[in-house]
Structure 1
Amino acid sequence: MGAFYAKLSNRSFSDFDAAYSSVQRWYGGVNIFTKKFVLVPVVEDLHWSLSCLCNLDQLQTRVGECG
């Protein structure tokens, strides 16, 4: 299992701040929530996949509108 995926999958949602701080340096300080697309490589059992997170730039706006 890849290091990125392993770190994300082994953290509980109640420990979000610790999970975030452990992976934030991996994307070079870029605010990924300003990007329209983010590509995330995932490896599990020697099988590679590529996940595409879409419209992250809209997520912040919608969350802000809700609360």
Structure 2
Amino acid sequence: MKKWLRSGLVWGGVLYIIAMIIFPLIDGERLSYHKILLGIPFWIVIGLVIGYLFEKKKHHKAKN
């Protein structure tokens, strides 16, 4: 597995847990299965974008 892909999935997982579970619990909201399930693909995509951009930035820095 490519390093940026694994890194992106980790980022997506961490952000998912924070945004979909921890923040609603802190605010006293009830967790909804519908909202939690819809958040999974969204945060996977966001995490992959972050992982890809970090990898691209790292390669750009290495060239300079």
Q: TM-score, normalised by structure 2?
A: 0.29
The structure where strand makes up a greater share of residues is 1
The structure where helix makes up a greater share of residues is 2
